[in-house]
């Protein structure tokens, strides 16, 4: 009798069992399939907070995955350590012919996977990387001249033109009958403390089942998404950014649902394409991790003050919409997309602080942190990136506050000292009612917007005039 052909599925950013590219490919090609996750010590060692929400989200999602696999006669193997050592070692122990994983486009992931592929090949094992976290892979689309896209609108048009729903959006169903039993000698999911972390309170329920519920509850709101998505006090967004980040839902399913809504789903589809545009930028230009996309800004000296940065981090700038957004981030690990643009513009254009400091702070705090989108968003706000906001367009935090939180509902939620202010005064308390502002204990504005805008224009325009 011929021996069974075995494969290992290494889950990374695809923490689900439905519509999972790697799991589907492996179970339809091999007789016995094992499933593993690895806590990467290189990533975990860099996290400053033992209560990191992302680790808690991953850990609880893995619990759901393990329960599913056990119902099908298998279980999740959970490793901890150096992936370049642990994955080849596990593959050898299990005697698999191939290791399957969803392709990741971050520079570290690309380098890591290259090394793992080489080490697996030494033992004649294949490393099969499959498309999963995007619909259109980075580097797949080019302009008519053959160059990489630098501007979103033509990228989005090319993305739509190349889309083949039957090929790109079909649901990838695994054959769970191929899942193999796992011996007790292999490591299983342990309490989170055993990985050096503590359980953190989460704003969102982790796991695949919760993600699917979020998508289902969002579908009826799609018809108003374009109208409601910019208002942080309303529930007008999908809330799926963390699920897309860790793969507790498939991006293909999200795109399918958006397209099912026809024109009503077009705006959300555009936002999903923005995510892939930033993946394309990161893959084609990995220098953006530490450098500006536009070289003329790379040597720019940002003159902002450190105490202003600390006030921004703490939500103590004296600008209510900025402070409410930062306090929400610090408390929950989440920030509404409109608010991300407002606080990023404020840090770079009002406080004149290097965008990289803000990007790093978000990288530490955001539950849905994704390198490509975080970097792209910050460089957009700072006017240093691909398809960035033109340097002369600077958000006015007061006007943004009045337009997108008109009645001050979001501000009241996160700045209790301003809760009693009327809907006009709450946006600018020190200017409109200084006596009450003093009594409230809310800080004075640390900068004057008009003055800082002029400084920002001078700073950024001078950089553009410098030869590179």
> What b-and-e string marks burial along 108-118, b requiring 16 or more CB atoms within 10 Å of the CB?
ebeebbeebbe
3-state SS class at 34? strand
Between the alpha carbon of residue 87 and those of residues 90, 99, 186, 344, 360, the distances in Å are 5, 9, 13, 39, 29
Distance between first and last Cα of the chain? 68
C-beta separation of 452 from 352 below 8 A: yes
Phi, psi of 4 (to 5 degrees): -70, 145
Rounded to an integer, what distance in angstroms lies between the CA atom of residue 468 and that of residue 295?
A: 7
Helix (H) or strand (E) holding 8: strand 6-11
CA angle 241, 245, 249 (to 5 degrees): 80
Rounded to an integer, what distance in angstroms lies between the CA atom of residue 79 and that of residue 38?
A: 4
Give me the active site residues, please. Answer: 271, 274, 302, 337, 355, 378
> What b-and-e string marks burial along 177-209, b requiring 16 or more CB atoms within 10 Å of the CB?
ebbbebeeebeebeebeebebeebebebebbbe
Residue with tokens 């502002």: 437
Query: Which of the 8 DSSP states describes residue 253?
Result: H
Rounded to an integer, what distance in angstroms lies between the CA atom of residue 420 and that of residue 33?
A: 60
The candidate with the shortest Cα–Cα distance to 413, out of 237, 242, 234, is 234
C-beta separation of 446 from 304 below 8 A: no
Structure tokens at 274: 């923005």
The candidate with the shortest Cα–Cα distance to 37, out of 84, 78, 88, 92, is 78
The candidate with the shortest Cα–Cα distance to 117, out of 139, 96, 138, 99, is 99
Rounded to an integer, what distance in angstroms lies between the CA atom of residue 58 and that of residue 68?
A: 15
């Amino acid at each position: 009798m011929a021996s069974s052909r075995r494969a290992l599925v290494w889950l990374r950013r695809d923490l689900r069992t439905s519509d999972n590219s790697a799991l589907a490919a492996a179970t339809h090609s091999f007789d016995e399939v094992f499933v593993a996750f690895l806590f990467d010590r290189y990533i975990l060692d860099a996290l400053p907070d033992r209560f990191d929400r992302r680790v808690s989200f991953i850990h609880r999602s893995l619990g759901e995955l393990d329960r599913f696999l056990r119902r099908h006669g298998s279980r999740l193997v959970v490793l901890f350590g150096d992936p370049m050592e642990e994955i080849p070692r596990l593959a050898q122990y299990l005697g698999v012919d191939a290791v399957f994983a969803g392709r990741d486009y971050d520079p570290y992931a690309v380098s890591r996977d290259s090394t793992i592929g080489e080490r697996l090949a030494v033992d004649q094992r294949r490393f099969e990387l499959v498309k999963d976290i995007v619909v259109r892979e980075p580097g797949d689309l080019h302009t008519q001249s053959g160059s990489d896209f630098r501007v979103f609108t033509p990228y989005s048009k090319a993305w739509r033109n190349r889309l083949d729903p039957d090929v790109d959006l079909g649901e990838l169903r695994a054959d769970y009958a191929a899942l193999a039993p796992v011996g007790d000698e292999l490591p299983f999911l342990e309490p989170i403390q055993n990985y050096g972390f503590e359980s953190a309170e989460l704003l969102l329920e982790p796991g695949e089942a919760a993600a699917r519920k979020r998508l289902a509850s969002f579908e009826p709101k799609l018809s108003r998404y374009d109208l409601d998505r910019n208002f942080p006090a309303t529930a007008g967004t999908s809330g799926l950014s963390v699920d897309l980040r860790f793969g507790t839902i498939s991006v293909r399913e999200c795109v399918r649902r958006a397209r099912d809504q026809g024109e009503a789903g077009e705006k959300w589809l555009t936002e999903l394409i923005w995510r892939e545009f930033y993946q394309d930028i990161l893959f084609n230009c990995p220098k953006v991790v530490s450098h500006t996309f536009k070289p003329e800004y790379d040597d720019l000296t940002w003159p902002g003050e450190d105490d202003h940065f600390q006030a921004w981090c703490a939500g103590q700038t004296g600008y209510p919409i900025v402070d409410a957004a930062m306090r929400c981030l610090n408390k929950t690990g989440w920030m509404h997309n409109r608010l991300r643009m407002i606080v990023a513009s404020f840090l770079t254009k009002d406080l004149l602080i290097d965008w990289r400091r803000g990007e790093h702070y978000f990288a530490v705090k955001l539950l849905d942190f994704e390198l490509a989108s975080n970097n792209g968003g910050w460089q957009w706000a700072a006017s240093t990136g691909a398809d960035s906001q033109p340097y002369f367009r600077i958000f006015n935090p007061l006007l943004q506050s009045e337009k997108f939180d008109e009645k001050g509902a979001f501000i009241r939620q996160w700045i209790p000292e301003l809760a009693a202010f009327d809907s006009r005064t709450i946006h600018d308390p020190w200017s409109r009612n200084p006596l009450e502002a003093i009594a409230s204990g809310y800080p004075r504005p640390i900068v004057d917007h008009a003055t800082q805008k002029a400084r920002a224009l001078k700073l950024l325009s001078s950089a553009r005039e410098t030869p590179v």
